[in-house]
Amino acid sequence: MIQATRLFLAGLLGLVAGSFSGAFGIGGGIFSTPAIRLILMESPAIALGTPLPLCIPSAAVGGLNYWRKGKVDERAVAFAAPAGAAMSVGGAMLTSILDLHFLMALTATCLLYLAVRTVLRAWSAPGVEKGGSASLQGWKLSLVGGAAGFISGLLGIGGGLVMVPGFLLWARMDAKKALGTSLVCIAVLSVPGTVVHACLGHVDWPLFFAMAAGVMPGSWLGSRFTLRAKSRLVLTLFALLLAATGIIFLASELRYLI
């Protein structure tokens, strides 16, 4: 692929990834990781490492929109973000010794699991549209953040795969506050994992800058959509997106494992 064409395509992919990030409270790695691997045909290491620094501008832009609308729980951020930042280092370091094809398949499995839990939350919980803040003890919020950070560093994603259901199902936040709080946490916990992946040579920086040019406006647009939409609609679309991506991604990586 010609370099100019590759970078232009990367910018478009970044726009889509940013839209998903802002709309669904995730770092965008659930789209950018398979896109880098399957569309740009990069190695598993680059596909795992490059999306993580993209989570920082994406989450910051989208998180600002949620914060302005009162859809960020500052207490949850105070406990979850530092724990996630610390645990992301350990997860990132494991990528140098584990089978990366296995990690890619694990990413897809996580997406499918989250799809099921999200659609159940959307249609079985009568309070999904209601406001609410985290009622968990601080150590439990730290546990949610730590688990999200570990997954973030390990799989090269923002950690929203763990934080969004953790805040929704365990902390009992309303849907939009869970998404906004997750984004703000992601902006923090992605930093240490990015440093580790960069040191391991897993970040393609020209690719990062090309995708970042699309990620930031995409995140702004995605967050604006979610803040105006019904929570049940947002969570249902989120579940469908995760299921479709997970199935395609898992099918592409299983050939390396079987």
258 residues of the chain, pLDDT tens digit each: 577 788 889 999 999 999 989 998 888 877 888 889 888 888 888 888 898 899 899 988 999 999 999 999 999 999 999 998 888 888 877 777 776 677 777 777 877 887 887 788 777 755 555 555 555 678 888 999 998 888 777 776 668 878 888 888 788 788 889 899 999 998 888 888 788 888 889 899 999 999 999 999 999 999 999 999 988 888 888 788 778 877 877 887 777 666
Contacts of 32 (CB under 8 A, 6+ apart): 13, 14, 17, 50, 51, 54, 211
Picking from 35, 22, 27, the residue whose alpha carbon sits closest to that of residue 252 is 35
Nearest-angstrom CA–CA distance, 258 and 248: 16
Picking from 32, 25, 16, the residue whose alpha carbon sits closest to that of residue 184 is 25
Q: What's residue 258's pLDDT? A: 63
Place of tokens 């207490």: 75
Structure-token pair, residue 25? 């409270």
Nearest-angstrom CA–CA distance, 180 and 133: 12
- Report the predicted TM-score, pTM, of the whole model to 2 decimal places: 0.81
Nearest-angstrom CA–CA distance, 119 and 235: 7
Any idea what the Cα angle at residue 145 is, between residues 144 and 146, rounded to 5°?
A: 95
Structure-token pair, residue 126? 């009568």
Q: What's residue 32's pLDDT? A: 87
Q: What's residue 212's pLDDT? A: 94
